[in-house]
């Protein structure tokens, strides 16, 4: 995400950087913002001094109001989960009052519709949050609009190139060569990460078979052993 921030060169009408990425601190550091900070940045929630749970009480009241207005079933646990959820990243255009949730996802790309399924999963995850922010913005007549942009890559390096590049451009990465460079680097990092995971997977299977089978997700143990042509060997003495 820091690379997008660094490469986003589009200017607004005041000849200043159009997009701001406040959670992208450096190539190594990243801060995930929760609802409190997001709404405060947009002027839709004032973070009060600590004490008596005032911040949480006010936010819960607003969330309850939103769910009631749209006849969405909820309970206290749902609200706690709602508040705790944080997008991977954020982009703000203060001049046009745009808030964009950014999601970066790696998915198993073994089926033809792998990207569409993962995109829908991510959209469903934050649809209520976007709806809540837009509801609050409309109520307060602030003019802010919230949306979501996903960057989805398959574990084998697959991605929808045109979609990926278009989404980079929408965030101010106007240079075509830069967009291509970000795409290539994303694929390379994904393949490198997958290679590392499979190396550890292979080592664990050959040296600590019982521990591996107990700790791997059931889906991998039951479905993917045969797909990847992996054969368990008895632990070495």
Phi, psi (5° rounding) for residue 22?
Answer: -65, -20
Residues 71, 181, single domain; the answer is no
Asked if residues 218 and 193 have their Cβ atoms less than 8 Å apart, the reply is no
Same domain, 166 and 181: no
Phi/psi for 142 (5° steps) reads: -90, -25
- Shared domain check, 80 and 148: yes
Q: What is the pLDDT of residue 228?
A: 46
Q: Which domain holds residue 33?
A: 2-174
Shared domain check, 228 and 124? no
Same domain, 139 and 78: yes
- Domain tally, the chain: 2
Domain co-membership, 168 together with 185: no
Q: What is the pLDDT of residue 218?
A: 55
Cα–Cα dist 16/10, whole Å? 8
Task: Quote the CA–CA distance of 205 and 133 in Å, as a whole number.
Answer: 46
What is the pLDDT at residue 234? 47
Which alpha helices (H) appear in the chain, and where do they start and end? Answer: 2-7, 35-41, 54-69, 76-84, 114-140, 161-170, 176-207, 209-215, 218-219, 225-227
- pLDDT tens for the chain, 237 residues: list them: 889 999 999 999 999 999 999 998 888 788 889 998 999 999 998 766 665 556 778 889 999 999 999 999 988 889 989 999 999 999 999 999 999 999 998 888 878 888 899 999 999 999 999 999 999 999 999 999 999 999 998 888 888 999 999 999 999 999 999 999 999 998 888 877 766 766 666 666 666 555 555 655 555 545 444 544 444 444 444
Three-state helix/strand/coil letters over 23-77: CECCCCCECCCCHHHHHHHCCCCCCCCCCCCHHHHHHHHHHHHHHHHCCCCCCHH
Which among 129, 152, 174 is the end of a domain? 174
pTM over 0.85: no
Do 67 and 159 fall within a single domain? yes
Distance of CA 85 to the CA centre of its chain: 10
Among residues 127, 155, 174, the one where a domain terminates is 174
Same domain, 99 and 211: no
What end-to-end distance do the CA atoms of the chain give, in Å? 46
**Are 157 and 183 in the same domain?**
no
Answer with the one of 174, 195, 220 that is the final residue of a domain.
174
Same domain, 94 and 210: no
Sheet arrangement for strand 145-154:
89-93, 98-107, 145-154
In terms of domains, do 158 and 42 share one? yes
Tell whether 119 and 220 lie within a shared domain: no
């Amino acid at each position: 995400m820091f690379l997008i921030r660094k490469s986003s060169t589009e200017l607004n009408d005041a000849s200043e950087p159009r997009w701001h990425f406040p959670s992208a601190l450096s190539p190594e550091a990243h801060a995930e913002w929760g609802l409190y900070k997001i709404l405060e940045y947009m002027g839709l929630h004032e973070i009060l001094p600590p004490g008596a749970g005032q911040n949480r009480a006010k936010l819960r009241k607003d969330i309850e109001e939103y769910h009631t207005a749209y006849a969405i079933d909820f309970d206290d646990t749902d609200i706690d989960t709602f508040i705790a959820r944080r997008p991977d990243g954020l982009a703000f255009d203060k001049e046009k009052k745009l808030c964009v949730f950014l999601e970066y996802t790696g998915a198993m790309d073994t089926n033809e519709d792998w990207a569409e399924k993962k995109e829908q999963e991510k959209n469903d995850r934050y649809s209520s949050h976007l709806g809540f922010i837009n509801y609050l913005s409309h109520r307060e007549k602030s003019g802010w609009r919230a949306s979501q942009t996903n960057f989805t890559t398959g574990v084998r390096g697959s991605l929808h190139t045109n979609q990926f590049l278009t989404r980079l451009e929408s965030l101010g990465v106007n240079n075509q060569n830069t967009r291509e460079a970000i795409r290539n680097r994303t694929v390379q990092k994904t393949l490198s990460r997958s290679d590392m995971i499979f190396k550890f997977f292979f080592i664990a299977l050959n040296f600590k078979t019982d521990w591996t089978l107990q700790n791997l997700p059931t889906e991998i143990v039951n479905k993917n052993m045969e797909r990847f042509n992996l054969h368990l060997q008895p632990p070495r003495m």
